[in-house]
Structure 1
């Protein structure tokens, strides 16, 4: 499969439109992908409850990351008119994510967004944390999950048979290092190859892994305000 950039108007401030597997996909500066034809947001590695998991181990980390993640989702849903959201794994970080405060915030959000269709492609953290509360109304699937020309995955290196589709994946939390002689900047990035795209981690307090592009990869970084092709 091949990808090509295209120019569009009205795609949202700072977003970048790619033609992938015959579909227009918008790379969003908020570290997500929007599929206009399906009115779908694709989110990787939100890691609800990660801060709570650290606090449960006695590590003093900031509170409010769940609210921050939910506010980020709300902003994108409203900006693009999304009717469905697919999470590419690691929805919950650990069993501590089932803590009452975290669950209460998520359930209150779901009550406000009751008409939104939610799907979770289970990732490695989800297997350890357990499935989200049934009251959240999330459809649970295993990878690879076929949808149109795409294979929705958590792991980008998942072995898939011929014709399985262009993979949209997470797991890596990719960042790209822009360096000069005097300074360096780590920016979340989308890694777009011939057969798969790796999305940056959407969640706050999730960190990032500096990647080395493979042959044929194109790197699109997010400054937080716009998406730029750097390689």
Structure 2
């Protein structure tokens, strides 16, 4: 797994974008991501829709490599860590967590995060509706109006459409950055890309396995 990074500065804070759908914040030694949707594949299988068994394992392997690469102490998930009710994927996630006994997990509750408080405590997850770490406020859904507060959010699964010659088109995940918010791409590879929801005057940082580029 090749990790490509690009540093950007927001509110005098350096954030490191990666080509693996997560941001590293050195000041807090935190890896920030959104929309992992653990339990989604098991939920679909439970309802008779065949899904590959290794989707979650691939997501967790990428996450492990990022945690080790940055030697991070905090995993900050900006919503939708889980997808549905408790299912077999929760056990997989619980076993995966045992290799990171000192890792602090903070979850900003998303619209899919409906597990009970008791079950969240089983994972030793600190759940919050929002989190303020100056100069940023972390929420799951991007604000609908302009504000002086700078939000870091997820939820919309942002992507861009790149048009090539003829009918060639390519969709890529991206980070969207505007004057008052940064929208994270969905971390899970098992998500669609929304190429229509974009904040006004946003700059996009799209990425591939080999590069990060701004447009």
TM-score (norm 2): 0.92
Deviation (angstroms), 1:179: 0.6
Query: Corresponding residue for 1:170?
Result: 154
Q: Is the contact made by 2:7 and 2:15 (CA closer than 8 Å) also made in structure 1?
A: yes
**Which residue of structure 2 aligns with residue 223 of structure 1?**
208
- Alignment RMSD (CA, Å): 1.8
CA distance in 2, matches of 1:38, 1:157: 24
| Structure 1: runs of 5+ lacking an equivalent | 1-11
Q: Secondary structure at the match of 1:173?
A: coil
- Distance, in Å, in 2 between the alignment partners of 1:199 and 1:206 is 13
Structure 1 residue corresponding to 2:110, chosen from 123, 130, 133: 123
CA gap 1:92/1:158 in 2 versus in 1, 3 angstroms: farther
Instruction: Encode CA deviations 1:93-119: one digit per residue, 9 max, x unaligned.
Output: 011xx22x3222111122211100110
Question: Is contact 1:45–1:91 with CA below 8 Å preserved after alignment?
Answer: yes
The aligned counterpart of 1:93 is 83
Q: Does 1:185 align with 2:170?
A: yes
TM (norm. structure 1) is 0.86
Match status 1:157 vs 2:143: yes
Classify 1:130/1:174 alpha carbon distance in 2 versus 1 (closer, same or farther; 3 Å): farther
Secondary structure in structure 2 of the residue aligned to 1:190: strand
Aligned pair 1:136/2:120, yes or no? no
Of 51, 70, 82, which residue of structure 1 is paired with 2:60?
70
Q: Quick check: 1:213–1:219 contact (8 Å CA) kept in 2?
A: no
Aligned to 2:37: 47
Distance 1:14 1:35 in 2: 15
- Alignment: residue pair count: 212
